Structure 1
Amino acid sequence: MKWIKRLLGLIAVLILLAIIVAAYLLITFDANDYKERIEAEVQEATGRELTLSGPIGLTLFPSLGLRLEEVRFGNAEGFGDEPFAEVDVVDVAVAVMPLLRRELEVQRVQADGVRLNLARDEQGRNNWDDLLDHAGAARDEAVGADDDERTTTETRLALQRIDVAGISLTNAQVHWDDRETGMQATLDPFELQIGRFRPGVETRLDLEAVVRAEGGDLAEPVELALDLGGLMNVDLLNERYSVRRLNATLGLDGGGLPRAVGMTLETDVALEMADAMSLRLERLTLGVAGVRMTGFAELSELDGEQPQIRSEMRTNTFNLKDVLTDLGMDAPKTSDPDALARVALDLSAHGSFQALNMDPFLITVDDAMLSGSAGWDGRGERPLITFDVSGERLNLDRYLPPEVEEARTENGNGNGEADEDIAIELPLEALRSVDVDGSAALGRLDVMGMVLRNIELQIRAEAGDWNIQPLNAEAYDGELSSRLRLDARHDAPRYELAADLQALDIGALLEDFQGDDARLMGTGNLELDIATRGELLSELKGALNGSGNMRFEDGAVRGINVAQIIRRAEARLRGEQLEEEEPNQTDFSELTGSFTIRDGIVRNEDLAASSPLLRVSGEGQADLNDDTLDYRVNSTVVGTLEGQGGRELDDLRGVTLPIRISGTFTDPSFRLDLEDALRDRYEGEVRERVQEEEDRVRERLGEEEERARERIEQESDRLLDRFRSR
């Protein structure tokens, strides 16, 4: 990577400076007398100012040693007056005799109080680029083109002969000022201890550092504390660098985190640079807040345009709520307090930083196991998430907020109404920020009290427009075909649902959904197409629009017994008391109807039901906004209704009896005015009888008139005959 090459170049420059200083000190035994000359030579060689404020210590034998104090090295032009580097003390010693054999045996490298100010300007120029240029020119001058092969061979031999007794860096500080991106970072303190170092031989490595960064792409300042130890092996000849038994602890604070987070890292890490650059982490263990991940990770083609990733990781079984609490985050409240107590991940990943695939993966959440493949592609306008997941069963009800479960069951069983409106909070920005294309299959899904089996669905999302189509399942002895849509592109999310249920046991479904006896029972078909919008439950009700139709057979409507209402009304007319109790339901052999929904008001005008005793029609509305009813049921007796004592109510046969339903969903009221209904019938019968009598009278009068006319005609004929005979 470029920064490693630049760092090695920077180290080469510093070594070159040390060699320059050492050369002068070797020539002159009193090096302090030559400070000004040394500073001038460095100025000429690098174009920067070197200030040697402290004493210079020099030893010649048996080791060539150099000790500098209070050293200051100037910055590049255009980067301000702050020095590029400052050193309180640097002490280097090299054995003399091995040098004569062209072997480098460093007896000590110690530095204390090293301070580096690294920077990049608005044009992307670094404040060490000029040093690298000077170092390259000096190298080219020292090594001729004809000596390249000899130099390479000698370099390889020299690398094998390096021997450093130890390296100690204390009280170091590095400041990074990136004016191109606006990021500021500080490495302070920085402590480094390396044991005896020889190429290809392991040595002890210990490092402590604290990094603080702000600005740039960081929304908030962040701080990272690192404590690292392990066995380092630097194979310069083969360009392989590794740390075995690496053990590190990391502390991360800031950056939007609610509290500081501690992490542990254990691994064997190796960096290969000979051909293509690659980084491999074997026996990797990463721990954070009760989660422990083990496996391996490999990064290849690091020097290319698209580095590749390959990894296999597995976690322990952990309690997700406890993990979130340890991280300072709010754990989700669930209907089941024991939910999310057993979570585990098993992942296999490959791809690049721009496009990563997980194939396969296994996610365990409590008693549910989901497996399949997934992918992430960040090369488009928005990241694209793909997946193909399957599982045996999943109970979503365990993970719903308690208030949702309470609202569902209270509204169903009539125990009361919610005192406060329920907010449906969705992460709208997150829903808009990704695209999704995936499929899922489940053997069983429990949601909102309902049970669906053999579920198959497709999910697609683009810029906040989420569609689940198709969503097919087996439900309550029938089949479900449906589609769902969530449009999160607006301030108030919009919802759409279209469902077609065939051969459905509606009673079992409603009982599971509302947690109590269903109002409607029967087997049949239900079609539904609705849409709404809003963030509160009240808003969702008020904006509900759509339509639907139903057809059910061999069922009942609970909460109203039409036959019993008629019997009780008839008994009151007779001055009797009906003590007979029957189930509060109206059985039907067939029930059909359609409905429309406008702004939360459900309207039906064609309800039709039939049974051996009754023919029922109905029309009216239900207002979901205030849970009120206004409905009229017209019942016609077509069979025999037996009253108290077994008396048949034949007088009611064929009479249309209106029943008015009003009140609320939880406390409906029913009213039947049987007296008016009978009065209307009897008045009609009287009118019919009067008309019949009038018709009979008219008929009789007509007959008498005809007989009189005939008598008159006969008498006239007789008188005429007599008159003629005379």
Structure 2
Amino acid sequence: MKKTLKYIAFGLLGIFALMLVVVVCVAATFNPNDYKSLIVKLVQEKKQRTLDLEGDIKLTFWPKLGADLGKVKLSEHNSAREFASIDNAKVSLAVLPLLKKELVVDTVYIDGLNVTAIRHKDGSTNFDDLMSKDEEASEQIKFDIDGVNVTNTKVRFIDEMQDTVYMVNQLTLKTGHVALATPFEVNTSFELLTQKPKVNAKINVSGNFMADVEHQHFVAKKLDASINGAIASLKNANITLAGDIDAKPENMKLLVDGLKFAINGDQEGAKIALNLSAPKLTVQKNVVTGKQADVSFSQEKGNDTINAKLSLADVKGSPQSVQSSGVTGELSAKQGAREVEGKFSSPFTGNIEKLIFDLPKLAGKLNITDPALPKGAMQGAFNLKLHSDLKQEKINTDLAIDVDDLHIKGNVGIASFSNPTFQFNLDLNKLDADKYMTKSDKPADTKSADTPIDLSALKKLNAEGSLHIGDLKVANIKTNDVNLKLNANQGIVELAPFSANLYQGKMNGSLKVDARNTPNIAFKQNMSNITIGPLLMDAINNDMLSGKGTLNVDITTQGNTVNALKKALNGTASINLADGAFKGIDVAGTIRGVKDKLNFMKQSNVTGDKSKKTDFAEMSASFNIKNGVAHNEDLTIKAPLFRIGGDGDVDIANQTINYNAKPTVVNSLKGQGGSDLGILNGLTIPIKVTGTFAKPNYALDFSGLAAGIAKNKLLENVGGAKGDAVKGLISGNKVDAIKSLIGGGNKTAPTQEALPAGDTAAQPPAPPSTPEDKVKKKLNKLLGF
């Protein structure tokens, strides 16, 4: 027996000595660099990539098998473009564990790793081939790494699908012992830079981690993570996360201990702070327990502040039915002279397995004080019933909200959290929107019309719903029984139909906004039996027009500013009114005054006078709108004394008028000014309307009227009662004849006795030029006398 053991011992010793000799001989004679070309060829055949081994490969055989590589480069698939490179890499592994199919690796050193990864527009990447499985599946080998040490690493990820680039710079990573299904220490830091959103931050992470993907078990112990830098609009950001987390999602197990999360930074000139604390939460198969969790938020910008706090009381129950005595919240805010205070609370129930949570009686109150409010203060109360299904990505709530005398009832829902769709059905008893808008004493900014309109919020909006308002006042316009339906889909928003009662009539129409590129707007509105005067007075504080009738508008426009939208207006509009008046000029009164010794010649250009008006029985007009200018050719106004036609333009963008009104005197004169105006029958008096919407001017062409009168009387009264006047027009005193034609008579001035010749002192001075003299000159020039 002893000899047998002795022989075995000597045999093993001999084998060991032989192996040692072989290793020594191989180490002395084997040059791994002789196989570079073979390695390069193998990579080319297997992966269609070019491997470039620039440095010498150094091997060690005992007690660990290892390799020390120089600079290495790897191309992209079927391309000469570089995919990755390493300045230096070193790895070694124990030999004997390989016999048991165990991979025991010493610390892995990687320095100067540089990777450029790309996701193409079709979703494929430039590293898909590296992630594909080998043709021959090999038996799984257990691995064990003593540690990983990565320095000076840079990773660039180009995402062509999202048109953005992610950069990781100065990455360092150091781990403890790494093995499958075993927690290991990690300490890493790196710089992160992205374009969309803009990020430039330093990230540090340390802790004890385990990721057992096969058994879906994830652990983070002594987690300590921080982010410092700029993240989108958040500047000087300091984000921290600490605590212990142990999760088994498939088994619905979760252990949270001492979890703390905080965000601090500057956003658009305001300092913000968000804090979350979850001291203890245990979710197991049949038991759920948890201590109170708190969330707080604060914001400071100058003297303006916002403070909010949300608390979830202790929870208990099971994963199928968890409950808490309540969720409570507090809000306080100060903005200028406005102060807001609010509180709310609700019981809490849920099903963790199905991720369904309810706040069945969410009730609260809100108080607002502000000198700008009508009563200096406003009180509100709300009651909500909120239901959320996180697996189905749905949230629904039935609500009842009271704010002063405003009552809102209905429901609101959200579907799909990643690309949310909002659904609503709301009923408001009345809404005075002007009441809740803070009035500004500052004059209107004339440049605001050229400020780009920001409709970016509509580009991702998905919404569908209906709204009813009993009484609505907005921009001082009053309506009631308002009904609208909204449909919004990724930048296209439609209000159709949109109907309401207003100013003793009805309106019905639609609005469509396409905000995907340059805003494009289409608007249709039909108003019937509208009392136009009060509407204009409330809308623009100008009652230039009154009457009752219809107003139809069908227009489109596009542009990035208000001025651009005005200048791009195209479409049609029409108006049809009865029993009304337009203010600024009294056409009938002016015509009646024609006989007053031609006094009208002094008033040929008149600024609009709101104290005067022109009554009409009917009025109609249609407009073709092109590039912001409304053109009309069919104005018709009917009044007892006259008819008015007209044509011209209204420049909506510049708010100016260039219009020719053409009143024509009709035969219905008796009782409207006397038979002495019969001479004006059938005559047209051109009226030029110019100026602005706010201050129109009226130019009256009465010299044209005089010429018309003369022409008519020449044709009508030759040989009649006015024969002498006609003769006067032909050969006599023409001005006196015109005056007699229109009823002014011929008042002969008293003659003076002849003065002695040469007695200039006795001659009276020439009388000053009178309005009538001016009339004579104008008529002489007009009629060619």
TM-score, with length taken from structure 2: 0.54
Amino acid at match of 1:362: A
For residues 426 and 319 of structure 1, the distance between their equivalents in structure 2, rounded to whole angstroms, comes to 33
For residues 264 and 614 of structure 1, the distance between their equivalents in structure 2, rounded to whole angstroms, comes to 74
CA contact (8 A) 2:261 2:277 kept: no
Amino acid at match of 1:457: L
For residues 583 and 188 of structure 1, the distance between their equivalents in structure 2, rounded to whole angstroms, comes to 77
SS state at 1:421 partner = helix
Question: Match for 1:448 among 471, 475, 500?
Answer: 475
Amino acid at match of 1:445: L
* Cα pair distance change 1:264/1:629, threshold 3 Å: closer
SS state at 2:409 partner = strand
Shift of 1:661: 1.2
CA contact (8 A) 2:547 2:581 kept: yes
CA contact (8 A) 2:399 2:410 kept: yes
For residues 629 and 576 of structure 2, the distance between their equivalents in structure 1, rounded to whole angstroms, comes to 21
Question: Match for 2:434 among 380, 397, 411?
Answer: 397
Matched, 1:505 2:555: no
In the TM superposition, what are the counterparts of 1:515-664 in structure 2 within 5 Å? Answer: 515-516=541-542, 518-573=543-598, 583-638=611-666, 639-640=668-669, 648-664=676-692
* Cα pair distance change 1:84/1:431, threshold 3 Å: farther
* Cα pair distance change 1:236/1:461, threshold 3 Å: closer
SS state at 2:585 partner = coil
Matched, 1:265 2:294: no
Matched, 1:294 2:345: yes
CA contact (8 A) 1:76 1:128 kept: no
Matched, 1:388 2:425: yes
Amino acid at match of 2:388: G
For residues 461 and 539 of structure 2, the distance between their equivalents in structure 1, rounded to whole angstroms, comes to 32
Shift of 1:116: 6.8
For residues 132 and 600 of structure 1, the distance between their equivalents in structure 2, rounded to whole angstroms, comes to 65
* 1:407-440 per-position Cα deviation (integer Å, ceiling 9, x unaligned): 6xxxxxxxxxx64434677652321112111011
Shift of 1:530: 1.6
Matched, 1:459 2:510: no
SS state at 2:564 partner = helix
Shift of 1:288: 3.8
Unmatched tracts of structure 1, length 5 or more: 1-44, 50-73, 86-114, 121-125, 137-171, 191-205, 215-220, 323-333, 408-417, 694-726
For residues 443 and 481 of structure 2, the distance between their equivalents in structure 1, rounded to whole angstroms, comes to 28
For residues 630 and 550 of structure 1, the distance between their equivalents in structure 2, rounded to whole angstroms, comes to 18
Shift of 1:473: 1.2
Shift of 1:225: 4.1
CA contact (8 A) 2:594 2:600 kept: no
* Cα pair distance change 1:403/1:545, threshold 3 Å: farther
Shift of 1:689: 6.7
Identity of aligned residues (%): 24
CA contact (8 A) 2:558 2:568 kept: yes
Matched, 1:281 2:310: no
For residues 488 and 500 of structure 1, the distance between their equivalents in structure 2, rounded to whole angstroms, comes to 24
Shift of 1:655: 1.4
Shift of 1:480: 1.0
CA contact (8 A) 2:601 2:702 kept: no
Amino acid at match of 2:261: V
Amino acid at match of 1:300: N
For residues 403 and 365 of structure 2, the distance between their equivalents in structure 1, rounded to whole angstroms, comes to 9
Shift of 1:524: 0.9
* Cα pair distance change 1:660/1:227, threshold 3 Å: closer
Shift of 1:390: 0.5
For residues 575 and 453 of structure 1, the distance between their equivalents in structure 2, rounded to whole angstroms, comes to 48
CA contact (8 A) 1:372 1:387 kept: yes
* Cα pair distance change 1:352/1:47, threshold 3 Å: farther
In the TM superposition, what are the counterparts of 1:17-416 in structure 2 within 5 Å? Answer: 77-78=147-148, 81-83=174-176, 117=186, 128-129=209-210, 173-175=222-224, 187=241, 210-211=260-261, 225-226=275-276, 239-243=287-291, 246=292, 248=294, 250=296, 263-273=309-319, 276=320, 278-289=321-332, 290-302=341-353, 307-319=355-367, 341-353=378-390, 354-378=392-416, 382-400=419-437, 402=439
Per the alignment, residue 195 of structure 1 pairs with: none
SS state at 1:438 partner = strand
Per the alignment, residue 514 of structure 1 pairs with: 540
For residues 175 and 536 of structure 1, the distance between their equivalents in structure 2, rounded to whole angstroms, comes to 49
Per the alignment, residue 196 of structure 1 pairs with: none
Per the alignment, residue 91 of structure 2 pairs with: none
For residues 593 and 461 of structure 1, the distance between their equivalents in structure 2, rounded to whole angstroms, comes to 35
* Cα pair distance change 1:635/1:312, threshold 3 Å: same
Shift of 1:234: 7.9
* Cα pair distance change 1:511/1:598, threshold 3 Å: same
For residues 211 and 625 of structure 2, the distance between their equivalents in structure 1, rounded to whole angstroms, comes to 76
Amino acid at match of 1:284: V
SS state at 1:342 partner = strand
Shift of 1:357: 3.8
Per the alignment, residue 703 of structure 1 pairs with: none
Shift of 1:617: 1.0
* 1:111-168 per-position Cα deviation (integer Å, ceiling 9, x unaligned): xxxx975899xxxxx975489999x9xxxxxxxxxxxxxxxxxxxxxxxxxxxxxxxx
SS state at 1:345 partner = strand
SS state at 2:653 partner = coil
Matched, 1:472 2:499: yes
CA contact (8 A) 1:590 1:610 kept: yes
Unmatched tracts of structure 2, length 5 or more: 1-101, 107-143, 150-172, 179-183, 190-206, 232-237, 245-255, 265-270, 333-340, 604-608, 724-785
For residues 547 and 356 of structure 1, the distance between their equivalents in structure 2, rounded to whole angstroms, comes to 44
Quick check: 672-681 or 442-451, which moved more? 672-681
For residues 568 and 619 of structure 2, the distance between their equivalents in structure 1, rounded to whole angstroms, comes to 28
CA contact (8 A) 1:655 1:677 kept: yes
For residues 185 and 250 of structure 1, the distance between their equivalents in structure 2, rounded to whole angstroms, comes to 15
* Higher RCO structure (Cα 8 Å, ≥6 apart): 1
Per the alignment, residue 54 of structure 1 pairs with: none
* Cα pair distance change 1:236/1:603, threshold 3 Å: closer
* Cα pair distance change 1:397/1:426, threshold 3 Å: farther
SS state at 2:640 partner = coil
Per the alignment, residue 104 of structure 1 pairs with: none
- Give the length in aligned residue pairs: 494
* 1:220-278 per-position Cα deviation (integer Å, ceiling 9, x unaligned): x997545677xx898989534244xx374645789xxx9895524152312524xx4x5
Matched, 1:430 2:457: yes
Per the alignment, residue 158 of structure 1 pairs with: none
Question: Match for 1:487 among 514, 525, 543?
Answer: 514
For residues 214 and 664 of structure 2, the distance between their equivalents in structure 1, rounded to whole angstroms, comes to 104
* Cα pair distance change 1:282/1:47, threshold 3 Å: farther
For residues 385 and 348 of structure 2, the distance between their equivalents in structure 1, rounded to whole angstroms, comes to 10
Q: Which has the higher strand share?
A: 2
CA contact (8 A) 2:308 2:329 kept: no
For residues 132 and 543 of structure 1, the distance between their equivalents in structure 2, rounded to whole angstroms, comes to 60
* Cα pair distance change 1:650/1:519, threshold 3 Å: same
* Cα pair distance change 1:228/1:539, threshold 3 Å: same
CA contact (8 A) 1:295 1:311 kept: yes
TM-score, with length taken from structure 1: 0.58
* Cα pair distance change 1:350/1:607, threshold 3 Å: same
SS state at 1:625 partner = coil
